[in-house]
Chains A and B, each alone.
Chain A
Amino acid sequence: MEENILINEKIVDDVAVKLLQLAVTELPRDVKEALQRAYREEESEAGKTQLKAILDNMELAEKTRTPMCQDTGVIIFYVKAGAQAKGLDKIGYALRSATRRATKEVPLRPNAVDPFTQKNTGDNTGRFVPFIHWEIVPGDSVEITVMPKGGGSENVCVLGMISPGQGVKGLKKFVVDTVINAGAKPCPPNILGVAVGGGADIAMKLAKAALLRPLDEPNPNPDLAKLEKELYEAANSTGIGPMGLGGKITVLGVKVEYAHRHPASYPVAVAFQCWAARRASARISSDGKVEYLTHKVT
């Protein structure tokens, strides 16, 4: 039987380094377009100035292949592993080694700190860092997504265990209050991931993963698509604006996810992503072919 070359650690390592480099230097097309549209639509002068600076910075980062923000985040991977793919046990190791290499080569800011000793490991790896979310899917290919997640937007993520009696109304109020409390802190305009149900851990996991859905892809469920639009309009009526300096563009998009819930629980999680909404994905086929899904690679 012909050997499946997907197990090649080197391919995974190289692809992950490339993904990290792409993610921190170039925003995906949907985010770029949303920021350009935000600049056209923003009416406040202060807000427009911020968006212009964001666009200029984005172009400069792409052109010079420099990280667009000095905070290159904590590294999170999402892996969709084909059940028939061989060598899946090597992927975790390869992703850690790729993170170390990218930290030196790109470079990335070392952002993995021991919470007790406050010591920075210096290479962006540590206990559960990078964290890898695994999903087993049919097929023999492997899809890897990286999300370098900045600290400013992470610090305002909130989980609320609201009363089931309040239901969807409670959810909406919670989201509005959370956006207002966050204000300028998460470097708006933001993307919001909102998830309800599942339990405390699952709600936040779903909210964060929802940030990966492209901005131009509304929820496939029409009711949830409507809710996303409603929350988007509500957040953009707060007046917080780009960088909290006032304006109508506070969020670029809202992504809603849900899971069924315990009758007594109504967990609502709100995950924030800053304007530097960095992500990059690639698919490695069983024949070793690599296809980049979020970025053009020449």
Chain B
Amino acid sequence: MATYKLKTPISEEDTRKLKVNDIIYITGTIITARDAAHRRALEFHREKKKLPVNLQGLAVFHCGPIVKKENDKWIVVAAGPTTSTRMDLFEDEFIKNFKIRVVIGKGGMGKKTTKAMKQYGAVYGAFTGGAAVLAAKAIKNVKSVEWYDLGMPEALWVLEVEEFGPLTVAIDAHGNNLFEDVQKKVEESRQKIYQKLGV
């Protein structure tokens, strides 16, 4: 297990050296995107429209933040991760088309995303569910908000972050998936637990 501090834009080479269980902190630019923003970004790509932000080498954070406006400036109050499995529908294409290098969320992602991460060089960083104040503290500035018509949680927030983390690498760019490994072990433990309880 090693700790890495990454700066955006992150290169494919940077992500290839990471292994599951490594810890990463990200400095630079990350964007938030939930279901709606993923869907729209892919629509833009299909229609050959330019995205409002160049996503190459950035991190995408599965998060619907609480943001307030003070003196015409956006301030992120709380920004914990949301469940990532919902984005499994879109993430492989998202990685392929936009060359994002890190996906941040909670709960892990499935086989399709794991495969895309291996193929194109990206990782999944698990951020502690509910640790919303910790996340907000690392967000230094709201650079812009795009697609606000989707609503505050679903909009694409472009955030400047400093040492955003700790993120545990739970899917690496070599096809390893920590959540799947844990699930296998849990399944193996089931019978032992039954035995011990006499059920």
Contacts and interface: CB of A to CB of B under 8 A. Distances in A.
A234 B192 CA distance: 10
A164 interface: no
B80 to A, nearest CB: 5
Contact of B192 (A50, A52, A173, A237): A237
Given A50-B168, A246-B182, A69 B130 contact: yes
A50 B199 contact: no
Contacts of B66: 70, 107, 109
Sorted nearest first, the 3 A-B pairs with minimum C-beta distance are A69-B130, A70-B78, A53-B128
Interface stretch (B40-48, B114-122, B183-191): B183-191
Interface of B: 1, 21, 23, 64-66, 77-80, 83, 106-108, 126-134, 136-137, 166, 168, 170, 178-179, 181-183, 185-187, 189-190, 192-194, 196-199
Which bucket holds chain A's interface residue count? 35 or more
Contact of A234 (B64, B132, B179, B196): B196
A176 B179 CA distance: 19
Contacts of A109: 66, 78
Nearest to A45: B1
Contact of A245 (B80, B179, B192, B194): B179
A288 B129 CA distance: 40
B52 to A, nearest CB: 24
Interface stretch (A56-64, A203-211, A218-226): A56-64
B166 A49 contact: yes
Interface of A: 45-46, 49-50, 52-54, 56-57, 60-61, 64, 66-71, 107, 109, 150, 152, 169-170, 172-173, 176, 180, 183-185, 187, 230, 234, 237-241, 243-246, 274-276
A230 B194 CA distance: 12
Contacts of B130: 54, 57, 68-71, 150, 152, 187, 274-276
A55 B145 CA distance: 31
Given A69-B78, A70-B80, A187-B129, 5 more contacts: A57-B131, A234-B196, A237-B193, A238-B193, A239-B185
